[in-house]
A and B are shown apart, each in its own frame.
Chain A
């Protein structure tokens, strides 16, 4: 980079961000800079240091944390293949291989793997400079390679490449109800905060983001906490591998989701809200911004909403940048404040000490969508179906070995057998619930049901066909967690680092009883002592397999002895190659 270029980047960065410089926006500035220059150039870092009064190390540590930010060098086309297990089953490795061969020697392109990109119903998929491309086939790969080799700007690529389908395979009462902007909000204004909370309480709505916390309770706690201001956050990080139902809601039911946030704001007197949108869904940014703008113009956001003096609320969208941990609510808040996404110590919880230390409601996209449905149609309408502890219906994202992948809405209590049958997964040996961190349900247990009492999910439902290797799936999950551990705490940082190598020994049929014991010990240590849910749930599928499918491990063992395996020939291979020694 010439001194003139550096000077231009420095000035340009200063000019664009100096106006209302705000260090909570650091991550947003970096996302923007990455997009503009295909990396974060050193002069841009210097400019940010100056405007935000941060040290270089502070800024670089944020860049280093997020996998979509790079400070090494500009690469014009950064390609990331989604490495979710469903993408692999759909043949992503062959696609990646094909593109790698086609682009051999091309210095403009870099190819790597990323965690699930949320297109599991239309995999294999990839991201190129953050833009998603699904349904990869050899011919589409060849088109992409040709565009890159002839240097066509991404903006000028054919739109057909970037088409994303949002397929609803089954709707029940919630998806069937159309969006009627302002209907629920008007009702909420009529009711006022106390009765809104009562309605939500009667509806039995529990959070759809995973933990199933009662929404009315969360909102009451936030409302009761003393504070200068309160915040509403829509968790649209949707990182659980195999989940894509929030993507569909944000694409087709954005009005409902935004209205759910507005109702939350009314209930707890919040004036600012955020949608934390995962970087993989950047393609939803402009449409969502247009939705927000339209609602401002309709008087449904901004000041004096629907003419109510003092009801002021607006929403900003923050983009994530490739970090699964940022779906965890306290890490999400750190990220919203422009920092590395490291979970916070809890208690205190975000409902009392969240964004900028103020009471903050963090809700999943679907939870907020359901709030709008409930206010539109009433608590009774909502809670009529479902089970005792899990009222109503929920959305699940079905992918993997089935004929009809897509989003399904089911009443709670439905059996796995029914779901698997409906989606055409007749050859299923098992279902992976709740993503890589969830439980593996074998076909013999398909009478179990979808509910908080029995099998909960954050929305992911991956069908595992008979032809698949469970060990291969565990290795894929181990790759995912090694990639996504934030690194803060000992058991998750190190445990997740050690597991892939150990599993590899089983895959190579080199393992011993010693390795098996280590697998169990590491899984248990992670489960019991990790700082947050990522580390404690990471070994779930592994523990399930150790218990339910021990044969996949015994098949990979060279001996059951408690000594570590030592393969003399493998260990000395490099030495023998160098010294040209045949054998010992």
Chain B
């Protein structure tokens, strides 16, 4: 099998794999947010930036090739990731201590892994209507990082097209395909994969606040690099 290296460690890969896929298969963690192994690469969050033979590129879109030397957890790249993550934190309303998703949130745990302690950029505090129309779910759109995982999951797994991204630039936002734009009037069902795939706290289940206490949640128990995505 052909191989390349990540931080000097040899990684074997199969033709057609990206650097991120090969790394995950080999159990080597490259921080990322918008990629999920069940779906095609998206390339939007930019957290998986690595240096490949001196050139900076996203690991989720760069094809693996024999002999590449990939730099992943260097100080320089971790600093770049902190700068990118900060931007995501100030774009939305990520008030982790009061968020139901805290401890099970990829954004939060990747930030922890990259040692981002606080966001230093001006917070934008977006105002977006919460969708509480559905009996079992509340959607808080102000936390969306536009990864389109729910869009893909709804289309490819659930066989519906409940979600789309609309707008442009900073005005990009998630919308629901329903005559009035409300979740309850869409084809969404509580068991949809779209609801469980979100890496942040947009999809919040009703009737069960803080069922698992903070401190005992997924990423409270293990750092994100030790967990394989479900």
Q: Which residues of B are interface residues toward A (Cβ below 8 A)?
A: 41, 43-47, 49, 56, 58, 61, 63, 80, 83-84, 87-88, 90-91, 120-122, 124, 145-146, 161, 163-172, 175-177, 179
Contact = CB atoms under 8 A, between A and B. Distances in A.
Nearest to A488: B44
Interface string A462-504: 0000000000000000000011111111110111111001000
B120 A518 contact: yes
A430 B176 CA distance: 49
Contacts of A347: 63
Interface string A318-347: 000001000000000000000010000111
A491 B88 CA distance: 9
16 contacts: A55-B161, A56-B179, A57-B166, A58-B161, A487-B168, A488-B172, A490-B44, A490-B46, A490-B84, A490-B88, A490-B145, A491-B87, A493-B172, A495-B87, A522-B83, A528-B49
B168 A323 contact: yes
Nearest to B56: A528
A58 B164 contact: yes
Greatest chain B CB density within 10 A among A482, A486, A531 is at A531
Given A485-B169, A493-B146, A498-B87, 15 more contacts: A57-B166, A57-B175, A58-B161, A61-B167, A61-B175, A65-B168, A490-B44, A490-B45, A490-B91, A491-B87, A498-B121, A501-B122, A518-B120, A522-B83, A529-B80
A521 interface: yes
Interface in A500-542: 501, 518, 521-522, 524-525, 528-531
B56 A529 contact: yes
B226 to A, nearest CB: 25
Interface of A: 55-58, 60-61, 64-67, 323, 340, 345-347, 482-491, 493-498, 501, 518, 521-522, 524-525, 528-531
Nearest to B166: A61
A525 B166 contact: no
B152 to A, nearest CB: 14
Nearest to B89: A494
Greatest chain B CB density within 10 A among A340, A482, A490 is at A490
B170 A491 contact: no
Contacts of B168: 64-67, 323, 340, 485-487
A347 B64 CA distance: 12
A58 B177 contact: yes
Given A345-B41, A490-B44, A528-B56, A65 B87 contact: no
A57 B176 contact: yes
A185 B18 CA distance: 43
A525 B84 contact: yes
Greatest chain A CB density within 10 A among B43, B47, B61 is at B43
A361 to B, nearest CB: 23
A572 to B, nearest CB: 18
Interface of A is mostly: helix
A502 to B, nearest CB: 8
A170 B110 CA distance: 57
B146 A494 contact: no
Q: Which 3 A-B pairs have the closest CB atoms?
A: A487-B172, A61-B166, A57-B177
Contact of B146 (A55, A340, A487): A487
Greatest chain B CB density within 10 A among A57, A58, A495 is at A57
Contacts of B90: 494, 498
A490 B46 CA distance: 7
A352 B168 CA distance: 28
Nearest to B164: A57
A565 B161 CA distance: 46
A168 to B, nearest CB: 36
B169 A497 contact: yes
A362 B129 CA distance: 41
A112 to B, nearest CB: 14
B122 A498 contact: yes
Contact of B164 (A55, A66, A493, A501): A55
A117 to B, nearest CB: 18
A65 B166 contact: yes
A489 B43 contact: yes
A307 to B, nearest CB: 45
A175 B179 CA distance: 55
A488 B172 CA distance: 8
A41 to B, nearest CB: 15
Contacts of B165: 61, 340
Nearest to B92: A494
B171 A487 contact: yes
A359 to B, nearest CB: 18
A487 B49 contact: no
A64 B167 contact: yes
A327 to B, nearest CB: 15
B124 A497 contact: yes
B84 A493 contact: no
Greatest chain A CB density within 10 A among B56, B122, B161, B169 is at B169
Contacts of A528: 49, 56, 80
A64 B172 CA distance: 9
B116 to A, nearest CB: 13
Given A489-B43, A491-B46, A501-B122, A56 B177 contact: yes
Contacts of B61: 345-346
Contacts of B176: 57
B35 to A, nearest CB: 11
Given A486-B169, A487-B146, A494 B87 contact: yes
A155 to B, nearest CB: 30
Nearest to B62: A347
Nearest to B148: A488
Contacts of B177: 55-58
Contacts of A521: 83
Contacts of A501: 122
Contacts of B161: 55, 57-58
Given A490-B46, A494-B88, A494-B90, A518 B166 contact: no
A493 B171 CA distance: 9
Given A490-B45, A529-B80, A531-B43, A61 B164 contact: yes
Given A56-B177, A58-B164, A501-B122, A493 B49 contact: no
Contacts of B46: 489-491, 529-531
Nearest to A535: B46
A487 B170 contact: yes
A487 B166 CA distance: 10
A402 B47 CA distance: 45
Contacts of A486: 168-169
Contacts of B171: 64, 487
B44 A489 contact: yes
Greatest chain A CB density within 10 A among B45, B90, B168, B176 is at B168
B184 to A, nearest CB: 15
A66 to B, nearest CB: 8
Contacts of B47: 490
A243 to B, nearest CB: 21
A487 B124 CA distance: 15
A484 B90 CA distance: 20
A483 B83 contact: no
A528 B58 CA distance: 10
B120 A490 contact: no
A346 B91 CA distance: 27
Contacts of B120: 518
